[in-house]
Amino acid sequence: MTRKIALITGASRGLGKSAALHLAAQGVDIIGTYHSAAAEAQSVVEQVQALGGRAAMLQLDVSQSGTFDGFVSEVRRLLKDVFAQEHFNFLINNAGIGAHASFVETTEAQFDQLVAIHFKAPFFLTQKLLPLISDGGRIINISSGLARFSLPGYAAYASMKGAVEVLSRYQAKELGPRGITVNTLAPGAIATDFGGGAVRDNSDLNAMVANNTALGRAGLPDDIGGAISTLLADGSNWITGQRIEASGGMFL
Q: Which stretch binds ligand NAD (CB under 6 A): 12-20, 65-73, 75-83, 148-156?
A: 12-20
SS3 217: coil
Interaction of residue 24 with ligand NAD, rule CB under 6 A: no
Which residue in 135, 224, 237, 250 sits closest to 183, CA to CA? 237
- Among 5, 10, 19, 88, which residue interacts with ligand NAD (rule: CB under 6 A)? 10
**Bridge partners, 58 (sequence order):** 33
Window 198-217: contact mask with ligand NAD (x via CB under 6 A): -x------------------
Is 154 one of the catalytic residues? no
Q: Which stretch binds ligand NAD (CB under 6 A): 13-21, 44-52, 78-86, 122-130?
A: 13-21
SS3 139: strand
Which residue in 90, 92, 71, 81 sits closest to 5, CA to CA? 90
Interaction of residue 190 with ligand NAD, rule CB under 6 A: yes
DSSP per position, 21-83: HHHHHTT-EEEEEESS-HHHHHHHHHHHHHTT--EEEEE--TT-GGGHHHHHHHHHHHHHHHH
Interaction of residue 48 with ligand NAD, rule CB under 6 A: no
Choice between 155 and 190, CB closer to ligand NAD? 190
Report the Cα 231 to chain-centroid distance in Å: 13
CB of 62 to ligand NAD, least distance (A): 4
N residues, the chain: 252
> 113-152: which residues touch ligand NAD (CB under 6 A)?
117, 142, 144
Q: Which stretch binds ligand NAD (CB under 6 A): 73-81, 130-138, 192-200, 229-237?
A: 192-200
Residues 6+ apart with CB under 8 A from 62: 9, 10, 33, 35, 95, 116, 117, 121, 125
Q: Which residue is at the shortest CB distance from ligand NAD?
A: 14
Choice between 13 and 138, CB closer to ligand NAD? 13
Known catalytic residues?
Answer: 157
